[in-house]
């Protein structure tokens, strides 16, 4: 099943306690696509400026990611983000954001993309996310990400979006903000009651939680000693998860749980180097090998 993702494409500058990388390939839709590409064919919709290095597009194409949905704005500049991680590598400060061409992002899907049945709306304004939904009336599974900015500034629109998507992925602090509840188990179900059939709360180094009407479960993060750069881990989580669902072509409870595990592992590889560097070194086989380790870890 082809999987469609709509979201940001960026050039990131990342500062960690030991290293700095400037203008490396990033953006929610990029991280998502790359992680998902290990499982299914991916169609990527996003926008870049004239400064976008074509080698980045080539890299994505090499993994069979369909990049015809990447719109290049003449004279425009690509979305840029600069962030700095604390010593704990979990908390970070955003130093600079230049939305540039992403500010006016108004995704119009290529005709053949509109038949995709699996859709991921990477973090973006709920208004834009709903415009995408309008173009995919036949989607079988629609999942969105969101962030604190939209929870605070576009609350009503976000509430409308939540009534239209099957799943929502968000991080722990966002779930608490959205529900005004500090207990994540309660918060997860409260978000679910706002509309989506299932909710995934990402907890960074502590893993992720899943909530549906009849299920509540937690999956710990894969314990890696090599956390070099956590940027994009949440998007890779979503990419691994959605990619696996698209590969299976269903979203039964059993498949969703396996998908949560693949998301966990995709994130675990991503944090082991900057940008997509770690992913560039692996094939599906490495992910499946780590899956065996992960299954062993959780069985007793």
Give the interface with its own copies as residue ranges (CB under 8 A): 87-89, 182-186, 189, 203, 205-207, 209, 216-221, 223-225, 227, 254, 257-258, 260-261, 295, 297-300
Long-range contacts from 214-219, C-beta under 8 angstroms, 24+ separation: 214/253, 215/253, 216/185, 216/188, 216/189, 217/257, 217/260, 219/260, 219/261, 219/264, 219/298
Query: Is the Cβ of residue 39 or residue 105 nearer to its own copies in the bound state?
Result: 39
Query: Is the Cβ of residue 65 or residue 256 nearer to its own copies in the bound state?
Result: 256
Query: Is the Cβ of residue 35 or residue 219 nearer to its own copies in the bound state?
Result: 219
Shortest Å, Cβ 155 to its own copies? 21
Shortest Å, Cβ 57 to its own copies? 34
208 closest CA partner among 184, 190, 189: 184
Place of tokens 């918060």: 187
Helices marked H in the chain: 28-36, 54-62, 126-134, 148-153, 155-162, 172-179, 184-192, 233-248, 253-270, 277-280, 284-298
241 closest CA partner among 278, 199, 282, 271: 199
DSSP line for 48-61: EETT--HHHHHHHH
- Phi and psi at 81, nearest 5°, equal -135, 140
Query: Is the Cβ of residue 205 or residue 273 nearer to its own copies in the bound state?
Result: 205
What is the H or E stretch that residue 202 is in?
A: strand 198-202
Shortest Å, Cβ 179 to its own copies? 12
Query: Is the Cβ of residue 43 or residue 203 nearer to its own copies in the bound state?
Result: 203
Shortest Å, Cβ 254 to its own copies? 7
Residues in the chain: 300
Query: Is the Cβ of residue 110 or residue 249 nearer to its own copies in the bound state?
Result: 249
Shortest Å, Cβ 148 to its own copies? 16
Query: Is the Cβ of residue 122 or residue 221 nearer to its own copies in the bound state?
Result: 221
Shortest Å, Cβ 120 to its own copies? 21
What distance in Å separates the CA atoms of residue 115 and residue 83, rounded to the nearest whole number?
Answer: 37
Query: Is the Cβ of residue 79 or residue 274 nearer to its own copies in the bound state?
Result: 274
């Amino acid at each position: 099943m082809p999987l469609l993702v709509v979201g940001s494409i960026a050039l990131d500058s990342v500062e960690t306690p030991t290293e700095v990388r400037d203008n490396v390939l990033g953006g929610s839709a990029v991280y998502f696509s790359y992680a998902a590409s290990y499982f299914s064919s991916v169609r990527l919709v996003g926008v870049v400026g004239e400064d976008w290095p074509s080698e980045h597009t080539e890299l994505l194409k090499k993994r069979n990611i369909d990049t015809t949905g990447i719109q290049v704005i003449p004279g425009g500049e690509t979305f840029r983000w600069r962030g700095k991680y604390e010593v704990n590598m979990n908390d970070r400060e955003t130093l600079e954001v230049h939305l540039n061409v992403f500010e006016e992002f108004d995704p119009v899907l290529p005709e053949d993309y509109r038949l995709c049945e699996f859709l991921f709306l990477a973090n973006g304004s709920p208004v834009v996310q709903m415009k995408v939904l309008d173009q995919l009336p036949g989607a079988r599974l629609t999942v969105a990400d969101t962030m604190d900015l939209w929870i605070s500034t576009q609350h009503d629109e976000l509430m409308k979006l939540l009534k239209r998507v099957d799943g929502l992925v968000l991080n722990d602090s966002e779930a608490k903000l959205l529900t005004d509840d500090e207990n994540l188990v309660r918060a997860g179900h409260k978000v679910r009651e706002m509309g989506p059939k299932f909710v995934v709360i990402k907890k960074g180094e502590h893993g992720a939680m899943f909530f549906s009407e009849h299920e509540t479960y937690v999956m710990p993060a894969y314990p890696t000693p090599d956390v070099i750069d956590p940027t994009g881990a949440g998007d890779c989580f979503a990419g691994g998860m959605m990619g696996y669902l698209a590969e299976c072509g269903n979203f039964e409870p059993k498949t969703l749980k396996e998908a949560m595990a693949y998301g966990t592992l995709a994130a675990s590889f991503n944090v082991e180097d900057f940008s997509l560097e770690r992913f560039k070194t692996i094939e599906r086989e490495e992910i499946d090998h780590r899956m065996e380790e992960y299954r062993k870890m959780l069985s007793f």
